[in-house]
Amino acid sequence: MKYYAPKGLYDIKPEEMPYWHAVEEEVRATMPLHGYEEIRTPIMEKTEVFARGVGEETDVVSKEMYTFEDKGGRSMTLRPENTASVVRAYLEHKFYGKEELSKWYYLGPMFRYESPQKGRSRQFHQYGAEAIGSDDPALDAEMINLAVDLLTSLGLDEVGLNLNSIGCPDDREDYIDELIDFLTPRKDQLCHDCQERLKTNPLRILDCKNHTCQSVVEDGPEITDYLCSECQSHFDEVRAYLSELNLSYELDPKLVRGLDYYTKTVFEVYSSDLGAQDALVGGGRYDGLVKLFGGDPTPAVGFAGGIERLVLLLEELDSVDLETRDLDVYLASLDRETKKRGLALVNELREAGVKAEIDHLDKSLQGQLGYADRYGAEITAILGPQEIAEEEVTLRDMETGDQTRVSITEFSSRVIEQLNSAG
Ligand code: HAM
């Protein structure tokens, strides 16, 4: 074997597809119920969209982007996430002048140069939703509800919700000053990365996975104590709406999220069954991003979930129907002439919505019957020279071996009748 998929990039094989389809179908069914329309942005953007949108100091931008120069000498980046692209599209197409509230969802691959492990890959897939144009706390609550609802509809009961508010930039500035004052004398206890973060992005120290760093910040200041009255009342209202929706959550004052655009509400939905990579969904409000991209100040909120992690969990549940390639009809032909007629008949069946196949491997009749059996054909039809001469097709009951003849002209309707009566 000479070629392998690049490290951290995986094929999604046919046998895994039922899980992917289950997720995609649930997303496509649920999003419109909440008023979200699909948007598809390109898989790559000019690098500055993410550098500016997500933040130069974040791990995503500083360490994890797939950035390259295209043949025109432009710096391009494979999207590491979709929120910045969606906001770029919102402004580019002037949606602010067309609708008061843009509510969009998406599904698609994202790319981050991370160390691959279970549930973490370099190409991964997200589904997500973004609502641009409202600062209503009820929208935050609905967004969280939508994220949770999608998971529970897929049969995941054991999901937890972590919630926090990181306030507005002013609140955060005050808090970061306090955090730096608290951490500087304890700097030596922090891991190497966090010692760097203390200079570049101190908030990231709060969600470092290193145990010592965690115990250091444990006793440190909490951002929720630094919220201004507007951010505090927004947070109170989000919580009140969540209670209305009967959504239980845990307050996590250390939850800050890894992307710079967040303001006020942030949340993560996780499953304890996932181990270290436990966040299934992450999201929050980003009231400053549209302005950062040159638009009028426009509040927004959204989330994204990782499909690979979700599929890992679904594989453990028995809720997804795995029968995929089961055939309705297999048509065995015996030579070139019968195959020609057979091809037309199979085509007729497919046009009527019947899953039908014909031999492409030059198998003997016995071999073809074996193939039909392997793919669970409900009806196997045989078209030999004798049948052609009499303008008939033989239908074989795969269980009993009983055979009957029907006329070629009635073949499709008889087959469909038989399939319908079998239910
Ligand atoms: P994020 O937390 O970076 O947020 O990613 C959201 C989800 O994508 C994670 O919870 C996880 O399930 C999945 N994910 C992220 N990285 C990987 C990876 N390397 N391998 C597998 N799955 C991964 C965002 O991307 C924000 N854009 C979410 C958002 C939308 N906030 C507001 N609107």
What six digits make up the tokens of 210?
């290193």
Residues with CB under 6 A from ligand 1: 81-83, 112, 114, 119-121, 124, 126, 128, 130, 258-259, 279-284, 286, 302-306, 308-309
What is the arithmetic mean of pLDDT over 40-45? 98
Which of 54-58, 265-269, 299-303 is least confident?
54-58
Which of 222-231, 313-322, 389-398 is least confident?
313-322
Q: Considering the domain 14-168+228-317 in this protein, what is its CATH number?
A: 3.30.930.10
In which band, very low, low, confident or very high, does the pLDDT at 323 lie, cut at 50, 70 and 90?
Answer: low
In which band, very low, low, confident or very high, does the pLDDT at 324 lie, cut at 50, 70 and 90?
Answer: low
Question: Do the Cβ atoms of 391 and 405 come closer than 8 Å?
Answer: no
Query: How many angstroms does the Cα of residue 375 sit away from the middle of ligand 1?
Result: 38
Query: How many angstroms does the Cα of residue 153 sit away from the middle of ligand 1?
Result: 20
Query: How many angstroms does the Cα of residue 281 sit away from the middle of ligand 1?
Result: 7
Position in ligand 1 atom list of the atom nearest CA 84: 27
Query: Is residue 220 predicted with pLDDT exceeding 90?
Result: yes
Query: Is residue 131 predicted with pLDDT exceeding 90?
Result: yes
Q: CA-based Rg of the chain, rounded to a whole angstrom? A: 28
pTM of the model: 0.93
- Give the architecture-level CATH label for domain 329-422: 3-Layer(aba) Sandwich (3.40)
Position in ligand 1 atom list of the atom nearest CA 310: 12
Alpha helices in 362-410 (DSSP H): 365-374, 385-389
Tens-digit pLDDT profile for residues 347-366: 999 999 999 999 999 999 99
In which band, very low, low, confident or very high, does the pLDDT at 318 lie, cut at 50, 70 and 90?
Answer: confident
Average pLDDT, rounded, for the chain = 94
Position in ligand 1 atom list of the atom nearest CA 130: 33
Query: How many angstroms does the Cα of residue 283 sit away from the middle of ligand 1?
Result: 8
Question: Do the Cβ atoms of 376 and 419 come closer than 8 Å?
Answer: no
In which band, very low, low, confident or very high, does the pLDDT at 1 lie, cut at 50, 70 and 90?
Answer: confident
What six digits make up the tokens of 260?
């710079």
What is the arithmetic mean of pLDDT over 18-30? 96
Q: What pLDDT score was predicted for residue 225?
A: 96
Position in ligand 1 atom list of the atom nearest CA 128: 30
Tens-digit pLDDT profile for residues 161-205: 999 999 999 999 999 999 999 999 999 999 999 999 999 889 989
Domain boundaries, the chain: 14-168+228-317, 329-422
Q: What pLDDT score was predicted for residue 387?
A: 95
What is d(CA 288, CA 283) in angstroms, rounded to the nearest whole number?
Answer: 15
Q: What percent of the chain has pLDDT over 70?
A: 98
Q: What pLDDT score was predicted for residue 398?
A: 76
Query: Is residue 277 predicted with pLDDT exceeding 90?
Result: no
Query: Is residue 138 predicted with pLDDT exceeding 90?
Result: yes
Query: How many angstroms does the Cα of residue 25 sit away from the middle of ligand 1?
Result: 20
Q: What distance, in Å, lies between the first and last C-alpha atoms of the chain?
A: 45
* Residue of minimum CA distance from atom 25 in ligand 1: 81
Choice from 23, 112, 124, 310 to test ligand 1 binding pocket (greatest atom count within 8 A of CB): 124
Output the DSSP codes for 108-134: EEEE-----BTTB-SEEEEEEEEEES-
What is the arithmetic mean of pLDDT over 22-49? 97
What is the arithmetic mean of pLDDT over 376-388? 94
In which band, very low, low, confident or very high, does the pLDDT at 157 lie, cut at 50, 70 and 90?
Answer: confident
Give me the sheet containing 75-78, strands edge to edge.
44-46, 75-78, 66-69
Q: What pLDDT score was predicted for residue 102?
A: 98
